[in-house]
Amino acid sequence: MTVFEEMAEDGVIWQNGEFVDWADATTHVLTHGLHYGTGIFEGVRAYDTEQGTALFRWDEHLDRFYQSAKPYDMEIEYSREELTEATLATIRRNDLESAYVRPIAFYGYHSLGVSPGDCPTDVVVAAWPWGAYLGEEALEEGIEVMVSSWRKHASSQIPTNAKTTGLYVNSMLAGEEARRNGFAEAIVLNKEGNVAEGPGENLFLVRDDTIYTPGLSESILDGITRDTVITLAEERGYEVNDTTSISRGELNTADELFFTGSAAEVTPIRQVDNVVIGNGSRGPVTEELQQAFFDLVERRTDEHDDWFTYV
C-alpha cells in the first residue's frame, strides 16, 4: 500500500478554509490551473524532534509562497496566521510526527480562456509522511547524475524566483531523461550553458575547501535549504561564493558536489555523467554540512531556534 493509499483511509486535507476527507479533496477537470499551470506552491518539512514536531523555516516558506503569487496577480485571501494554523492543524489531525507539507494555490474553476479572469484562487494544504527524497542510501553514498539536454528557462521568459506549478514540466523532463539513462537525477544548465540547478534542488560545488553555488542571476530558485546550508557553512568558517557562475566543465574537476532542497535535504553527488567526483563518495565538507543540517533540523543543537514552528 502506498503512502497516499494509507492517507486516503482516514487522512484529511485543508481545502479553501475547511477540512475534507483525503479522498474528497478534488477539483473540477476544467480548472484553470490544471490546463495552464497557473499555480504556486511550497514544499516544507516537519521534523520529529525531542521538543516535538516542528516545521522547519515555515516563515521563509510562507514569505516565498505569497511572493510567488505576485507575478500572476493571484490574490490569496487567507492571512499568514490563517495558513499557519491550517498547516499546524493538518499535521495534528493526520497524527503526523514528521511530514512533508504541501501548501498550494491555483486558479480554479470558472472559465477557460488563457486569462484567468474571474477564476477563484483555490488554496490547499496537505501533509503526509515522506522519507529521504532520493533514497536513504543516497544521503551517505551519494548519487549519480547526468547533465540534462533540457535547459532551464531564463527569468526574462518566466519568473524563476516564483515556485510555479507549471514550470516543473521542465524539471520533470530533465529528471525523467536522467532516469531513463540510468541516473538518479539531473543537473540542468541555463540558457548560457552554465550550471543552474537540479530539477528540484540547488547545487553546491566544493573546491580546495571553498564552497560555490550558482547565484540567483543563473536562473535558479532561491532555495531555503540553500540559504540554510550557506549559513551553516559560514558559521563553520567556510568561504562561500553564492553569486558565482559555474561552468559545465567545473563539475568534472570539483572536489565535491552536493544537492540541497526541502525534499532532497543535503544529498552528495558522486558522479556526473561518466566522471567520478572526488573519490567517488561523500566528501568531508559535504559530510560536515550534512551532519550540521540534520543536527539542526532534528534539534540536537539549540542553534537557530527561531527557524522552527512547533506543532
Range of the domain at 104: 3-129
Could you say which of 129, 163, 178 is where a domain stops? 129
Q: Quick check: is 305 in a domain?
A: no
Residues 70 and 175 reside in one and the same domain: no
Q: Quick check: is 9 in a domain?
A: yes
Residues 180 and 65 reside in one and the same domain: no
Can you tell me the distance from the alpha carbon of 42 to that of 259, in angstroms, rounded to the nearest whole number? 18
Residues of the chain with pLDDT under 70: none
pLDDT at 79: 98
Residues 244 and 262 reside in one and the same domain: yes
CATH code of the domain containing 223: 3.20.10.10
CATH code of the domain containing 108: 3.30.470.10
- Cell numbers placing 89: 492543524
Residues 14 and 84 reside in one and the same domain: yes
Nearest to 272, CA basis, from 152, 142, 176, 171: 142
Could you say which of 129, 149, 184 is where a domain stops? 129
Segment 215-256, tens digit of pLDDT: 999 999 999 999 999 999 999 999 999 999 999 999 999 999
Residues 117 and 237 reside in one and the same domain: no
What residues are annotated to the active site? 163
pLDDT at 137: 87
pLDDT at 122: 98
pTM, rounded to two decimals: 0.95
Residues 118 and 165 reside in one and the same domain: no
Q: Quick check: is 311 in a domain?
A: no
Residue written as grid cell 514536531: 53
Q: 58: phi > 0 → left, psi -120 to 50 → alpha, else beta; which?
A: alpha
Total number of domains in the chain:
2
pLDDT at 133: 80
pLDDT at 110: 97
3-state helix, strand, coil in the chain (%, to 5): 30, 30, 35
Q: Quick check: is 251 in a domain?
A: yes
